[in-house]
Structure 1
Amino acid sequence: MPPKKGLSAADKRDRMLEIFHESADVFVIKDVEKLSIKKGIIAQAVKDVLQTLIDDDLVHCEKIGISNYYWAFPSEASVKLETEVRKQEGDLAALQRRRAEVEAALAQHKAANPNT
């Protein structure tokens, strides 16, 4: 039989994120390692994959006492996207108002100086 092919980094990230979203619980590193092995992620890669998820703000980490606690909830992604959409809509409205002001000023300038 041919040797098994390992998971890509993106697959590892997706599977690890599933661990957090399926349980909606808070974990210590030992628990994450145990569950990751069940998902097919080798133990040596768990910390690196977890760190990339933390760096991308998909998983949160907090040091309490001597332990690090990790969590990610499914609703966080939708809340983050909704907040970004509202922010972008506000920026769009401000830019549209600014454009209207500039166009009005341009029309006024053209009316005042028809030869230029």
Structure 2
Amino acid sequence: MIEERLDKIEDMLAQLITMVGKLSVEQQEMKKEQQETKKDMQEMKKEQQQIKTQLNEIEQKSETRHEQMIERLQVIDRDKDFIWEKTVQNEREIGNLKRLFEQTP
């Protein structure tokens, strides 16, 4: 009877040792996976930072180009106004000349 109990206790201890061993292995594997995950996250953060930097550069270039286009459009608008003024002036002078020629016999 005592021997049966001792055998049961030995079996239970063996099972516990096996379970603890498995848990230890699983824990080590989880630590490795956790470290890999941390490493992946760090790489993702670096990539994200690079993307942010590139986005900032693109935004700056876009803003510069936008300002250049606005400046060009303003120059074109001033040129258009100047041309209209000249055209009106020329038309006025042509009209005056026509009237002069019409009045001259």
What TM-score do you get using the length of structure 1 for normalisation?
0.39
Q: Which structure has greater strand proportion?
A: 1
RCO comparison, higher one (Cα < 8 Å, 6+): 1
What TM-score do you get using the length of structure 2 for normalisation?
0.43
Q: Which structure has greater helix proportion?
A: 2
Larger Rg computed on CA atoms? 2
